[in-house]
Amino acid sequence: GETPMKVEQIMNRAVKTCRPQDSLNKAAQIMWEVPCGAVPVVDEQRRPIGFLTDRDICMAAYTQGRPLKEIRAEKAMSPKVVSCTTDDELGSAAQLMRQHRTRRLPVVNRDGALVGLLSLDDLACEAARSLRGGVNDELRSLVLEVHLSINRGRVRLSPPV
């Protein structure tokens, strides 16, 4: 059969990051310049310690009622980071997304340092290539399952009073 593809083969290597002490203004600027909806937050060793989405930034501004330049990334990021490694197969990365209801996975190397980002869109693009026969059907149904798990998992939070 075919060798399963590895995360490394389709991940995005040009990942912009920010540090926990950076302001949300900086993170928003990255999102504006790069067109991306999320920025990994990394420590001095470039290990991912959090994740900031455009929604996190909006919600922090809304709940804290302060300008973005006064709010630090660590106060708005979700601190639970689920990452995969460069050697992981695409199928297992998709399973991780499904389990944790996330559409983006930071990719780390053996030292745990960030080297890329894998998104559900990347997986969907790969699954849409019809060249790879049966591997694709499997990936395609996985991508669908990830979408469903994310949509099912949407929790309505009550707004702050």
Return the HEC string of the chain: CCCCCEHHHHCECCCCCECCCCEHHHHHHHHHHCCCCEEEEECCCCCEEEEEEHHHHHHHHHHHCCCHHHCEHHHHCECCCCCEECCCEHHHHHHHHHHHCCCEEEEECCCCCEEEEEEHHHHHHHHHCHHHCHHHHHHHHHHHHHHHHHHHCCCCCCCCC
Query: pLDDT tens, 8-28?
Result: 999 999 899 999 999 999 999
Of the pLDDT bands very low, low, confident and very high (cuts 50, 70, 90), residue 161 is low
Residue 83 pLDDT more than 70? yes
**What pLDDT, on a 0 to 100 scale, did the predictor assign at position 42?**
97
Give the range of the structural domain holding residue 36, as residue numbers without chain letter.
Answer: 7-152
**Is 101 a member of any domain?**
yes
**Looking at residues 77-105, what average pLDDT do you find?**
92
**Is 91 a member of any domain?**
yes
**Is 157 a member of any domain?**
no
**What pLDDT, on a 0 to 100 scale, did the predictor assign at position 72?**
97
**Is 64 a member of any domain?**
yes
Q: What is the tally of structural domains in the chain?
A: 1
Of the pLDDT bands very low, low, confident and very high (cuts 50, 70, 90), residue 157 is low
**Is 34 a member of any domain?**
yes
**Is 161 a member of any domain?**
no
**Is 47 a member of any domain?**
yes
